Homo-oligomer: A and B are copies of this chain.
Amino acid sequence: MSARGPLNFPYITPIPSCAFYDSVCEIGDYMPNHKIDVSEILANLPLFRQLGQDDIALLVQGSREIRPQKGEFIFQKGDPSHGFYAVVHGQIKLAFPSVQGAEKVVAIIGPGQSFGEAMMFMEKSYPVFAQALTDSLLLHISKQALFTAIEHDNSFARKMLAGLSIRLHGLIHDVEAYSLRSGAQRLVGYLLQNENGQNGQMEFDLPASKQIIASRLNLTPETFSRILHQLTEAGLIQVDGRRITIPDIEALRQYDH
């Protein structure tokens, strides 16, 4: 869920994960042995943890690195699927194109998360497009490799079923939010979902620009800004750029307007 956590990939070279730095690096620059890294990266993805050494090896065979720059498209809506993607670092947005440049963000994918799995199991093409929000490093795992992995390890199939189920659950949550919650309620819900068991106070950065978050919540930037302002005036949050402070989580949860 939380796309804003720090990189938890210690096996990646310890160069700062900031997109600014990454943008000046080329494949092989600081990863002469990048094949080995791929194996480790794959093995530590939530989806592939608990997978055998040999299965990982098969997946590595079918995977390749992709290093999109900020703004670059990974695939367009309507493109056919040949596999799926795992984010090593960076940030990817999935969105619908709309008339005249407007678009609706469906998801913001961060490190350790993956996307595009569902489309592999259907004949249909991507219903959304994927675009890098920052310079990123992705792994593309081919449909072929994944299917043989499923064939090999049937506990892996259950893992994927669980993964898709979670995603499905998330979408149902979205549908509920869009259907019967106001903009302010959606925003409050979004802020609180970053809650990590802390009670009382809480502080964090928005994982992306306010425009992107707004779209994710199905709001215009203007409305988003106004709601943030209202919440601030009500003393429920404090905003400093992307930094959000919630002095009283419970109070914010009570908010109903």
- A interface residue numbers (CB < 8 A to B): 96, 98, 102, 104, 106, 117-122, 124, 127-128, 147, 150-151, 154, 157-158, 160-162, 164-169, 171-176, 178-180, 218
Contacts and interface: CB of A to CB of B under 8 A. Distances in A.
Contact of A175 (B106, B117, B158, B162): B106
A32 B179 CA distance: 45
A171 to B, nearest CB: 4
6 contacts: A96-B179, A96-B180, A157-B161, A161-B164, A164-B164, A175-B175
A190 to B, nearest CB: 15
Contacts of A172: 106, 127-128, 171
B179 A121 contact: no
A245 B227 CA distance: 44
Given A118-B169, A127-B169, A168-B171, A161 B160 contact: yes
Copy number in the complex reads: 2
A168 B167 contact: yes
Nearest to A118: B165
Contacts of A166: 122
B173 A127 contact: yes
Given A121-B161, A162-B122, A178 B179 contact: yes
Contacts of A151: 154
Contacts of A175: 106, 171, 174-175, 178
Contacts of A164: 118, 121, 161, 164-165, 168
B171 A218 contact: no
A104 B161 contact: no
A229 B43 CA distance: 58
A164 to B, nearest CB: 5
